[in-house]
Structure formats: C-alpha cells, structure tokens
Chain A
Amino acid sequence: METPVAEQAKATEVSVEERHYNIIGTRPIRHDGADKVTGKALYGADVRLNGMLYGKVLRSPHAHARILSIDVSRALALPGVKAVVTSADLATLDSVVSRVGEGAVNWRYLSNNILASDKVLYHGHAVAAVAATSLNAANEALNLIDVQYEPLPCVITAVQAMRPGAPILLQELRTNELGARGEIPTNIASHDQNMRGDLERGFAEAAVIVEREFTTGIVHQGYIEPHTATAVWGTDDQITIWTSTQGAHDARRQVAEVLQLPVSRIKVIPMEIGGGFGGKTVIYLEPVAALLSWKSGNRPVQVTMSRFEVFAGTGPTSSSVIKVKMGSASDGRITAAQVTMAYAAGAFPGSPVGGAMSVILNAYRMENVQIDGYDVVTNTPRVAAYRAPGGTNAAFASESVIDELACKLGIDPLEMRRINGAKEGDRRVDGPLIRRIGYLETVEKARASAHYQSPLPAPSTPGLKVGRGVASGWWGNWPGGTSSVSVIVNNDGTVNLIEGSTDIGGSRVAMAMQLAETLGLQAADIKPMVVDTDSVGYNDVTAGSRTTYSTGIAVHKAGLSIIQQMRERAAQLWDVESASVDYADGVISSKDNHIGFKELARKVGDGDGNVVASISISPNGDGVALATHIVDVEVDEETGKVQILRYTAVQDVGTAIHPAYVEGQIQGGAAQGIGWALNEEYVYDQQGRLLNGSLLDYSIPTALDLPMIEAVIVEVPNPTHPFGVRGVGEVPIVPPAGAVANAIANATGVRMTVLPMSPQHVLEALWTQGNERV
C-alpha cells in the first residue's frame, strides 16, 4: 500500500554510486530450494501432531441474512465430534480501527468476519466450526448444525450498494465524507478526494477529451495453497499456532485481539507458505482452531479450507466502477483529468480505493486533477490485499484513456507517456514530491526493445485480428514497517541469519545475499532462517513489496555491527587499536596483519563470547516502483477469444539482488494481470450466491494460455536503500489489463471498458461498438 501521504521525512538517504558487487546480481541457488523440490519442505497443512483433530467451518448459504438461532446439539452428539464453536464463543469487540500490516483493521469487523454474529453478510461467511477425530466426522457434523436464517435482499456491486434505498449491510455505518461523519445508515463507508489546479481551465485547454466508464469484476489472489491453521491451546494457557501467513507477528496480534489475550500467550510458528499475494495478511482460521482446541480439552486442531471455501470465504479483491475524463493538448500534454471511482469492499469497509487513487495518475505530471474515491460495502467476501491492491483496475481505466488520447492525436503511445511521464522533482497527484525514479527509463527501454521495434506478427489463421498495446503502472510500495533480524557468527565461519519475514518467493536467498555482500562472504556461507514469533523481534508482513527493501536494510545494519565486532576481535588478537583495523571483502587487516573472516571466526571460537548482532529498524523510506508493458494479442472476432502472442515487461527494480527471482516476480505479476484481464471474475446469481467457486470454473491462466514473458530489468538505484533496492513484487500486476485492452483496441478498433475481457464481454463490445470503430 501507499506510504502516508504526508511527509516521508526521516528516511536516511544513502549515496548509491555505480557500484560493483560481488554477490548482488548473481544467481545462487536458494537455501530452501532442495527441500522444496524434494517434497520435504513443510507447509501449513503438512503439520501432523499426535492426537490431532480435524476442524471444519460451516458457511452461510445466503448472501445476506439475519441469524435467528443456531442449534449445535445434534452435531455435538455425533460420535467423534469433540467441540463446536460459534460467535458466542468470541467476545464482542469495540469498533476500533488499528493499523495491521499495510492496512487498517476494525477489530469488531475482523471478529465478525471470522465468525458471523447477528447477520451473515455474504455467501460463504463463516457461522460455526467443529472439531472431530476425522475429516469425515467433521464434515458430517456440519450438516447437523441447525441454523435458522431470515434471508434479506442483497447488493453485489458498488453501484447497487450506493443506490438510494439499497439494503443496508451494517446498520451503524455512516459515511466518512471528506472527514465529516454522515448521519444516515449507508453502504458508503467513505468518500475521499485528491485535487489540484483548475479542472475547468485544464479541460478548456484540451484539444481532445476522452471520457469513459469502466467496470471490473471481483478477482481472487488464487494462491494454490488453501488457508490452514493448526492450534494447540495448552493446559498452561499458552497457545501455539502453526500457519501459512505473510506475517507471523501480525497473525499473532490479530489472534490476540480477537481472543482478547496478551500477545505473549500466543506463539505463531510460520510454516512454508504456498502463495499469498496479500491474501494471507489477514486471519480467518487461527482463532477458530485455537478455540476448538480449548473446547476439546487442549487437543491439537487443524483446520484447512477447501478450494470453495478459499473462493467464498477469503479476501478476493474489489470489483469497481471507474469514470475517467481526460483532456490533452494537441502536442500530447495532458491538461486535465477527472476520476471518480467506487471500490466494493465486500462485507466490511476497507477496499483499496486509497491505493487506487494514487496509482491512477501518479505516473504522470498533472496540473489540473480531481480524483474522488468511494469505499462501499457489498454482500461479497471482505476484500483482502491483492498485489498492488486496487492498482490493476485503476490502471486499466487510466491507461486505456491515455492510449485513446494518443490514438486520437496520432501520437505513438509510448511517446505520449514520455511527454507526460513523471520524474524526480515532480509532485505526485496525492501530494509528496517524487524522488529518483526510473519511469522514463522504462518507457525508453520499452521503445527500444526488440519487441516494440518488430512488426506485428501475422495472424495464426486468416481472419483473426492482431494488435499491440502498451501500458504503464505506478506502485508506491510500502518501504516502511518494522523488520528485525539476528545474526550469529558460527565458529566455522558461517553465519546464521535469523529473520521474521515470511519467505514467499525466495526472500531467504535475497536476504542472505545482502548479508554476504556486506560481509564479503558467499551466499552459501549464510544460513537464513525464518523463525517463530518468540524467537525474533517484531516483524511486519511480507507485503507491500517491503521485504527485500526493509528487511534488507536491517540485514545490512546487522552486517555492519558484525564487521565492527570482528575488527575489535582482531584488534584484541593483534593487540592493536581497533580503529587501525580495516575490513574489506571478508578480510580483516591492520598494518602488519591480516586474517580472513572464517579464520578469525574459528580463532574467536565459542569460548570468548559469541559474535552476534540483533537489529530492529523501521526505515520509513521511499521506493516507488514503475513498469511499462508491451503485449501483442490475437482476437477472434467470431468467438471473442483473445490470445496473448508476445509479452514484454520492463520494470525499474532499483537494484536486482537476485535477478532470477526479480524476473520471476515480474513474470508472475504479469501472468496474474493477464488472468485478470482475460478470464477471472466471480460470477453470482440473483440471490448473491457464488457460482464459480472452483479452480475449473474460475479459471486462472495455465501454461498453455501464456507465452514466455520477457522481463526487462531497468536499474535506477533507490537512494534510500544501501544497495539501491526497490520493492519489485507488486507493480508488475498493474499494467497488464490496460496493455491488453489497448492491444485489443489496436487489433479491432473497439475499446474494452469491462474486465475481464472474456469472450462474452469482447463479443458484446464488438456488437455494440462495432459501428463506431476507430
């Protein structure tokens, strides 16, 4: 998510001159790799404990209903059933909002999402849970829980929810209208606004104006590993939880709040995690498993979701409706832009509309702008972060309009972006000044790429239409939060690196490489490990593209402390002043002496006090990420099917620590963006029931749907990180939908204004706009 709009002061500026690195930029094999390719790595659902019970969750069949009664007696009587929980087992929490992870959480809403209290607010909302000696018995017991509902009318989209007279989800909700509290019950949680300049004057200066309205559906993060939690409530009232989470400390904090316990009573053991993309920053099952353990007489309980539960019960991202009006002078300069966007938050407030408001125009210099954003509750699952939350929908809208302006003016679309692209010293639409970024570099690199320079491929079958599109994306990243690491020098010269940042996609190796670079060692000399919440200082979530950045800074600082201690040890050894001892490339030296890191570690041994360092930092830095993508598509106008023929993603990554995993982030983000662009969407019936809650029906891209994705790395070092790192994970999902839409327009002359651009929606657009093709 975005850094606070206010001042981003206090970040230390480090000078990152053109530097030669020994380790950074190489591609060592990840430390946790062998276990992962041989099946030995243990993920959340691989935990097996003696006497473990299996838990299952009962979910609402209604999109919106009052719960009249819950009778669990028949379920409890079933042989093998050991415990049942409902929201009656949870305290009613105050409606207080706290920062958690990269977002904000209202504790009452979080608790009500974990187990519904008086109302169910979406199809799939958790109502009760059971623990039994077998999965089978647990599933059977769910059928024996008798819940009486009074169904209520539902609203699925933001537009429906905002209509006067719409059914109200949360009776106590009032609109936060530009800071003032509204008076009447509503589904609109907030209205925010960013503005600058004079819209009227800006539009008056425009030679061309384009105005369009875009709608996008609900999409899911789609991690392959379902949510799972295993808990033991010990007889000493200490709770241990094994789970797949993007942040063990945040999970602990959330469990503590929901169960109203001090954090010290809870230990969260982070297992390997099978994808998250933002969706595993919030908790669902952990308190349920803990309560089931307590109620079943302290037995271990494992609760794992089915795939349907993942779709119906966990955070997808917002559907949205976005209006964009933009004007441009005949030279391509954007003179004014007005945006109105409403994001559906699902059952409780908290859509990523704030992030979307900054994504939508920040890549461009804008004098006259107004952006209005609405956060709206709907009878769909409470949204969770999804990779650059809110960014893909926003950029789909703005990048489509910019492309159309360029088309109308006869300007090359990358030239249009060069003319308007933001650079250091420009002011962001949402306030802060822009520091060193590599946006224009990505545009230039894209323009010079073999892809952009080559002619469009011929259609695979005569009659099919081919086209090329480009789009850019901005993402603010979260170069803040807290990261804690401990470093221990072993007496054989290797170094343990103990961290609290979940490793979702190779961050252990990226941390080890930064420590190896700092100490002048090899990556293989470092043993990185992610440990439980009792064993390392507080650490924020692996999210917001923050880990390689923030935890990397902590690792570097800890490395500097180790260097200082090794100099002191050498000084003792040689009986010289430590100030006269140098450290470079893993060699410690003074005038007449020198000794390698490993040899000194051996000499120091274990007897004279270990060389260790513990660091906790909160960098509050900066590290905006920008990307420009190019795509060639083939459109079948008979069926509406769009095929991706070629894809190139150019991104400013600051410094690529491990280029292969940086490319992987870029390719994976682009692939998710393509899925969002072409296929993915929740389908509901009239009663608000989810119709496509399986991987077959929801349909994420397969290997056959995609070409190779060329990742082009641009390195404009980030001045606030010792090695110049920018977060890389999120921005690659921002441009794809816009790029694909622009390619479809290039191929067919028809502008897509709906996501996904599935065959059905493409055909509808071809039929309705067919006669106004451009």
Chain B
Amino acid sequence: MANKTAVQATINGEDVEFLCEPHQSLLEVLRDVLRLTGTKEGCNNGNCGACNVILDGVLVNSCLVLGVEAQGKRITTIEGIAPPHGLHPLQQKFLEHAALQCGICTPGFIISAKALLDHKPHPSEHEVRHWLAGNLCRCTGYDKIVRAVLDAADVMAVEVSK
C-alpha cells in the first residue's frame, strides 16, 4: 500500500487537511476521504463533467486532477456555492425551469455554469451551449438547462447592478 501524503487546501472557504494516496484523484478524495458526495462520477475519465469543480478559479474535471495537486489550492464544489439559508441563482433557476430530471448531472452543470458566468456574465445561447458541451446530460435534451443558465445570468446581472 502506498504511503499517504498530507495535503492542505481550502475547500468551499474552509481550510482542510487530508491524507491521500498518490494515485487518488481529487474526485476520490472529495467523495471518499472528505465525504463531499455532491460531486458525482459518471465516467472517471474526463468525458462527462459530472465531477466538475472550480480549482483556483479554473473549471476542472476532478477525476483528472490528483488529490495531491490540490495542495495550497482553493476548491469550490457544489456544496459550497449557496449562501447560508438560501440558494445560488443558478440553483434557483435550475429548479424554476425544471432543468433537472434525475439530477445526477446537475451539480456538474451548475458548477460549470458558475465558472462560465464568473468569466462571462452575459453569454449568448451559443456560448452557453459551447461552454457546457463538456457536461453530459442524458435526461433533459439540454433545452431547460440552457434556459436556466441564461435566466440566471439575467438575474445575477440585475443583482450586480443594484
């Protein structure tokens, strides 16, 4: 059995320290070591986006990042984007638009969409589709997901201008 490495990172605003084996992915660490199971596994090889998290401001497939690479990094997962006692506008709009059916892809989509809106607050429909092309959903046909993201962008723009 491989030796474990101690890793310090900031996850959802909290400083955490965890032990992980060198081969373990960040996804495994989040789900099995830290028990943050909101981040999902659909393929474990970078093809579905269900495991997406934001790492130092960059959207990544956590199944393609090693746990040890998280050393000193800031990580945002689906568990960390809502304000206390509330929902992030993307979460709210996903609910209002019925943009989830089974919901297994939803954390990944919301995280990806957040990364998009962080960079580009007013995306076009095409830009949303292009950005979200790394996230697979088998249930919805994407229609309501794209609408929810566009609507959330509008709401967030209004909030910013207030």
Interface residues of chain A, those whose CB is within 8 Å of chain B, are 27, 29-30, 32-34, 36-43, 45-46, 48, 79-80, 134-137, 221-226, 272-277, 304, 306-307, 504-506, 658, 660-661, 663-665, 667-672, 694-696, 700-704, 706, 708-709
Complex CA–CA separation, A276 to B139 (angstroms): 9
CB atoms of A30 and B95 under 8 A apart = yes
CB atoms of A504 and B140 under 8 A apart = no
Report if A37-B94 is in contact (Cβ < 8 Å); known contacts: A226-B41, A704-B133, A709-B143: yes
Report if A668-B42 is in contact (Cβ < 8 Å); known contacts: A38-B82, A703-B128, A708-B146: no
Partner of B103 from A48, A222, A274 at Cβ < 8 Å: A274
Is the C-beta of B135 less than 8 angstroms from some C-beta in chain A? yes
Chain B nearest Cβ from A734, distance in angstroms: 15
Report if A703-B129 is in contact (Cβ < 8 Å); known contacts: A38-B38, A505-B139, A696-B47: yes
CB atoms of B43 and A275 under 8 A apart = no
Interface residues of chain B, those whose CB is within 8 Å of chain A, are 1, 21, 23, 28, 31-32, 35-48, 50, 77-79, 82, 87, 90-91, 94-98, 100-107, 110, 125, 128-130, 132-147
Complex CA–CA separation, A671 to B44 (angstroms): 24
CB atoms of B130 and A660 under 8 A apart = no
Partner of A224 from B35, B90, B136, B141 at Cβ < 8 Å: B136
Instruction: Write out the residue numbers on chain A whose beta carbons fall within 8 Å of the beta carbon of B50.
Output: 224
CB atoms of A34 and B101 under 8 A apart = no
Number of A-B contacts (CB under 8 A): 195
Instruction: Write out the residue numbers on chain B whose beta carbons fall within 8 Å of the beta carbon of A79.
Output: 1
Considering the complex, give the chain B residue whose CB is closest to the CB of A137: B1
Considering the complex, give the chain A residue whose CB is closest to the CB of B91: A37
Q: Interface of chain B, helix or strand or loop or mixed?
A: loop
CB atoms of B139 and A275 under 8 A apart = yes
CB atoms of A224 and B91 under 8 A apart = no
CB atoms of B43 and A39 under 8 A apart = no
Instruction: Write out the residue numbers on chain A whose beta carbons fall within 8 Å of the beta carbon of B91.
Output: 34, 37-38
Report if A709-B141 is in contact (Cβ < 8 Å); known contacts: A39-B37, A43-B104, A80-B1: yes
Q: Which residue among A37, A40, A671 has the maximum number of chain B CB atoms within 10 Å of its CB?
A: A37
Partner of A45 from B41, B98, B102, B141 at Cβ < 8 Å: B41
CB atoms of A275 and B104 under 8 A apart = yes
CB atoms of A226 and B128 under 8 A apart = no
Instruction: Write out the residue numbers on chain B whose beta carbons fall within 8 Å of the beta carbon of A661.
Output: 98, 101
Chain A nearest Cβ from B32, distance in angstroms: 8
Instruction: Write out the residue numbers on chain B whose beta carbons fall within 8 Å of the beta carbon of A43.
Output: 37, 40, 104
Chain B nearest Cβ from A5, distance in angstroms: 31
CB atoms of B95 and A668 under 8 A apart = no
CB atoms of A272 and B129 under 8 A apart = no
CB atoms of A706 and B141 under 8 A apart = yes
CB atoms of B95 and A695 under 8 A apart = no
CB atoms of A36 and B100 under 8 A apart = yes
CB atoms of B102 and A225 under 8 A apart = yes
Complex CA–CA separation, A273 to B40 (angstroms): 12
Partner of B37 from A48, A224, A306, A667 at Cβ < 8 Å: A48
Considering the complex, give the chain B residue whose CB is closest to the CB of A666: B141
CB atoms of B102 and A39 under 8 A apart = no
Q: Which residue among B104, B129, B135 has the maximum number of chain A CB atoms within 10 Å of its CB?
A: B104
Chain B nearest Cβ from A248, distance in angstroms: 16
CB atoms of B144 and A660 under 8 A apart = yes
Instruction: Write out the residue numbers on chain B whose beta carbons fall within 8 Å of the beta carbon of A273.
Output: 102
CB atoms of A274 and B95 under 8 A apart = no
Report if A506-B98 is in contact (Cβ < 8 Å); known contacts: A34-B87, A695-B47, A709-B141: yes
Instruction: Write out the residue numbers on chain A whose beta carbons fall within 8 Å of the beta carbon of B44.
Output: 306-307
Instruction: Write out the residue numbers on chain B whose beta carbons fall within 8 Å of the beta carbon of A42.
Output: 37
Complex CA–CA separation, A774 to B147 (angstroms): 40
Instruction: Write out the residue numbers on chain A whose beta carbons fall within 8 Å of the beta carbon of B31.
Output: 46
Considering the complex, give the chain B residue whose CB is closest to the CB of A135: B28
Q: List 18 A-B contacts (CB under 8 A).
A: A32-B103, A33-B94, A33-B95, A34-B87, A34-B95, A37-B78, A37-B94, A37-B103, A38-B87, A39-B39, A221-B138, A224-B102, A272-B104, A307-B45, A667-B143, A700-B136, A703-B128, A703-B137
